[in-house]
Structure 1
């Protein structure tokens, strides 16, 4: 998506070199369009040595089995996002354990993907029928019979085979943070 008008004053934007890159900038005020970014989250939920998977109803990944996940809303913490997404897609209640992966994919939209290891709390998987048409817990052996997305295979191996340590939320980071949250 191209940005053509200033989000501050409405003036037509122009191309200008800023920081070694050509960027859309306003000739009237200080607005610079720094790019398009997307932050997504994914959940790895284990129960009885099985991983919670969903089958996607839409592209990207239509028909593929993946871990539940979605996109962060503007005024939502990353941990409340992933809890909400798992509940919406599967009806399963979870609690954040730790971050075990961070994906980075620059492009027209710069995608960042944060993978959480989640603690299962309650509920049986039921697909929401809006984003996913199937949901369930599957062992690695059972997953071999499914059309599992490559990235989900890698994440499954992280949690099942490699026992990743990851990062946990530090509730007392020791410095004033003005709303920032520290995972370490």
Structure 2
């Protein structure tokens, strides 16, 4: 059970109750239920001339490993804008979100969901930001085999390069109903 002890709405000490078949921390004074801690991250497979954009992490977790660029979604930012921003911040590369190609689910103390997109390369030359990233470049699958690439990145890039049976999920630019503020994705 997480270390959240007080209601985020009214400040009352939380108690443990069975809600939805699970023991959850809930407020005895108001309707607040602590559903858990979650983190939503995004990653990008940007390809240019058959090579994928990789960064070398300058900070933990994963310091010294090569990964695809990415980061965490801001509260009021659409997912596709998050990944476009993260790619540009970390590498100086301009890219446009194309389709969702992978979803990674890691339940733990903070439940991490990681959404990966294929992106169209628009322009720019890879440059590390010097803070989160100390190396950036486009690399072939063969070059990756000689590098210190994070296992999840290897799995993601392998799927993007070799799994042609799926077109992934694309952003629905013209949904049949208008759902303001929603980011909608569908299979093609």
TM-score range, shorter chain: over 0.9
Determine the structure 2 residue equivalent to 1:99: 100
Determine the structure 2 residue equivalent to 1:166: 168
Determine the structure 2 residue equivalent to 1:151: 152
Q: Where do 5+ consecutive residues of structure 1 fail to align?
A: none
TM-score normalised by structure 2 residue count: 0.94
CA deviation profile, 1:67-120 (whole Å, cap 9, x unmatched): 000000000000000000000100000001110111111111111110000000
C-alpha contact (below 8 Å) 2:67/2:149 kept by paired residues: yes
Determine the structure 1 residue equivalent to 2:80: 79
CA deviation profile, 1:104-143 (whole Å, cap 9, x unmatched): 1111111111000000001000000111110000001111
Q: Where do 5+ consecutive residues of structure 2 fail to align?
A: none
CA distance in 1, matches of 2:90, 2:150: 17
TM-score normalised by structure 1 residue count: 0.96
2:143 aligned with 1:142, yes or no?
A: yes
Determine the structure 2 residue equivalent to 1:50: 51
CA deviation profile, 1:152-175 (whole Å, cap 9, x unmatched): 111111222223410111122212
